[in-house]
Amino acid sequence: MNEYDIVIIGGGPAGLSAAIYALRADKKVLVLESKACGGRIVAARDIQNYPGMMGVSGYELAKKMQAQVEELGGEIRYERAMGIKDKVVCTDGGSYKAKAIILATGAENRKLGIYGEDQFVGKGVSYCATCDGSLYKDKNVAVVGGGNTALEDAIYLAGVAKKVYVIHRRSEFRGDKADIKKMNDFSNIEVILSANAREILGEEKVTGIVVDVDGEEREIKVDAIFMAIGYEPQAGEFANSVELDGDGYIKTRDGVHTSAEGIYVAGDARKKDLKQLVTAVSDGAIAATTAIKEME
């Protein structure tokens, strides 16, 4: 069986950053990636908030991160990790022993599943207000959702866009009272409750959304729709090895240690307020340096 100092599960920004730090510390590193290196950022058309890389596409940035890992001598295998037993990671292609394991499996955006959603991703449909909000300065936008993320997105967008519609399927919000109050103070936010989003309209890009409000159909003209209905952490395979919280995120007391010795977490796979590139790569660096310190 192949043995490594560190096996990193997930080749997104967190996993690749962890790999760079571990390789520069002269460790033998394996990155396991089930799809494509770069993770969720590959879907970003135009990154505006990553220091030093203004206007780069997610694909381009992912390729550069991957090349950096390869140049430093890191091994990347395109296999899905299925579980961990006694510091051995089992995948759909083999088994790999490690002194330390970093879980960097990320979290997928939950989808609404309505007509037009997939078609208009990157053309008006966004899952990240902090990433794409500035593209809609002085435009009309909608936020779909009723939890904390939706409220925070609406407040953030109200400072950028001309008008923000907040579309929520229930009759009241689930998010923090303080954020609800703050949102209500913005004159350019219109809340539409008991409203089910039905269809996204547009040709080349988004032009509107159709909602069903108490049984009546309403068409709202917007240039962008921000989906804020939550995330699905991708950590289910490791539930027998590390503790997960009620939402499926990997539990951590300090942002890096999991409940199991020698297994660390980095990036969106742990619960945090800001799911972004900068926080993911920061997590990866901290997880790798902590793992190295503790294995020596």
Ligand X SMILES: Cc1cc2nc3c(=O)[nH]c(=O)nc-3n(C[C@H](O)[C@H](O)[C@H](O)COP(=O)(O)OP(=O)(O)OC[C@H]3O[C@@H](n4cnc5c(N)ncnc54)[C@H](O)[C@@H]3O)c2cc1C
Residues with active-site annotation: 128, 131-132
Torsion of CA 230, 236, 242, 247, to 10 degrees: 30
Residue with tokens 């988004």: 206
For the segment 144-183, give every residue that binds ligand X (CB under 6 A): none
CB of 158 to ligand X, least distance (A): 20
Q: Which two tokens stand for residue 259?
A: 């409940």
Tokens of 35: 């799809």
* Residue 234 touches ligand X, criterion: CB under 6 A: yes
Dist. CA 21–CA 26, nearest whole Å? 9
Q: What are phi and psi of 75, to 5 degrees?
A: -100, 135
Minimal distance, residue 195 CB to ligand X, in Å: 24
Residue 153, helix vs strand vs coil: helix
Site for ligand X in 184-223 (CB under 6 A): none
- Pick the closer one to ligand X by CB: 40 or 257: 40
Considering only residues 194, 218, 237, 289, which one is a binding residue for ligand X as defined by CB under 6 A?
A: 237
Which structure tokens are listed for 66? 């991957």
Cβ atoms of residues 92 and 83 within 8 Å: no
How near is the Cβ of 296 to ligand X at its closest, in Å? Answer: 25
147: helix, coil or strand?
coil
User: If binding is defined by CB under 6 A, does position 90 make contact with ligand X?
Assistant: no
Nearer to ligand X (CB atom), residue 26 or residue 243? 243
Q: Is 24 exposed, middle or buried (0-12, 13-18, 19+ CB in 10 A)?
A: exposed
Binding segment (CB under 6 A) for ligand X, from list 47-55, 68-76, 190-198, 287-295 = 47-55
C-beta closer to ligand X: residue 91 or 189: 91
Backbone torsions φ then ψ of 85, nearest 5 degrees: -140, 125
Work out the number of other CB atoms within 10 angstroms of the CB of residue 198.
Answer: 16
Q: Which of 4, 5, 6, 10 binds ligand X (CB under 6 A)?
A: 10
* Cα–Cα distance measured from residue 26 to residue 182, given in angstroms and rounded to the nearest whole number: 50
Q: Is residue 44 at the binding interface for ligand X, with CB under 6 A as the rule?
A: yes
Q: Which stretch binds ligand X (CB under 6 A): 20-28, 36-44, 178-186, 225-233?
A: 36-44
- For residue 193, the minimal CB distance to ligand X (Å) is 27
| Pick 14 or 155: Cβ nearer ligand X | 14
Site of interaction with ligand X (CB under 6 A): 9-15, 32-35, 39-41, 43-44, 47, 49-50, 80-81, 104-106, 109, 127-128, 131, 234, 237, 267-268, 275-278, 280
